[in-house]
Amino acid sequence: MAANPLTALSHDEALFQQEVERFARTAIGPKVLEMDEKEQFDLELLPQLFDMGLMGIEVPTEHGGAGGTFFMSILAIEAMAKIDPAVSVICDVQNTLVNNIFMRYANPAQQQKYLSRLTSKDVGSYCLTEPNSGSDAFAMKSRAYDEGDHWRLDGKKIFITNAKEANIFVVFANINPELGYKGITAFVLERGMPGFKVGKKEKKLGIRASSTCEVIFENVRVPKENVIGEIGKGYKIAIETLNEGRIGIAAQMLGLAQGAFEGALKYSRQREQFGKPIKEFQGIQFSIAKAATEIEAARLLVYNAARLKDAGKEFVKEAAMAKHFASAVAETVSSEMLEVYGGYGFIKEFPAEKFYRDAKIGKLYEGTTNMQLATIFKLIDSQYR
């Protein structure tokens, strides 16, 4: 893979990714099964994630971050997903959504106040989806009322990642529904504000250690200085942030596929049938070869989108392509690799069944597959006119 110039890493990037994967194998690996069974993230891992700098990879050093690149965030997300996609998405949301919003849209005072916390101790959460606004994200009902010296927020969000662990929440609400999407505004809320509460935690098919919860606002008093960016420009913040976040999800799915592939390849060398390792059978060889090809194609798309973003070039189409394709590859590869284990792939003794369950979310969150395809077509259609 390193011989390909599109996927080749610099010396520092390669060392960084290797260090993240080493950390994931030693610190996260032993806890994966228990966290999945309990459907709960082990909070003992949080200080380690912060100490490793994995919760503020792109954040400038003056705010306590690592001062790295977006591409480095993608490498870290991929590396962790090889071990546990659930922990990977915790870091993904922190880096590509929450930190990203504060770095790009917050004013200096907000950056000073919140980025140092987000890089050292506090998990962040991104609150957009509502019961009746999923793919149509701007049909939201959450309201923000201007009450002179403060804003009052009322509403409910669902499917909010990291909500159980988070202390800092970026919340989107509409100041005037008559304005449509032009009324949507971004606010920063904190756990403990009167009227703000985290509701039920959803029980999920996969990525069970990652919390997915309701977030409820009942007459929450929000200081005027907690508006992020311009009033009425929340739609722009949400869209542009999700465009970058989709590359993060693509990296998570890429890492998941790689983890499933490596586990199956190792097993094929150890498992014997008819007096020889099963890797000697052509059917197994073809399955593994196809998986390796699909993973390499996904890696090309993911890395290309991330490199374009870092270079300041247009990347929206490439991000949508990467998420769409990597999610499909994760689902296909995790299924095919599970079959390499035979009946053992269906039990929890081996990681194959968890990778298979975790893969499904890739086609659903941060924009469904159909939404990615709609974006791709729209941009292609305009490109070839």
Supply the residues annotated as catalytic.
366
- Measuring CA to CA, which residue among 162, 23, 168 is closest to residue 83? 23
Residues sharing a CB contact under 8 Å with residue 225, sequence separation 6 or more, in sequence order: 109, 110
**188 DSSP β-pair partners:** 170
What is the dihedral sign for C-alpha 301, 306, 311, 314?
A: positive
With vertex at residue 195, the alpha carbon angle to CA 190 and CA 197, rounded to the nearest 5 degrees, is 60
- CA distance linking residue 102 with residue 104, whole number of Å: 6
Beta carbons of 234 and 101 less than 8 angstroms apart:
no
**190 DSSP β-pair partners:** 168
- CA distance linking residue 101 with residue 170, whole number of Å: 8
- N- to C-terminal Cα separation, the chain: 36
Q: How deeply is 274 buried, as exposed, middle or buried, from its count of CB atoms within 10 A (0-12, 13-18, 19+)?
A: exposed
Specify the residue for token string 């798309």. Answer: 301
- CA distance linking residue 146 with residue 129, whole number of Å: 22
- Measuring CA to CA, which residue among 156, 172, 135, 134 is closest to residue 214? 156
Q: How deeply is 205 buried, as exposed, middle or buried, from its count of CB atoms within 10 A (0-12, 13-18, 19+)?
A: exposed
Judged by phi (left if over 0) then psi (alpha if -120 to 50, else beta), residue 123 lies in beta
Within 10 A of 51 (CB to CB), how many other CB atoms are there?
Answer: 11
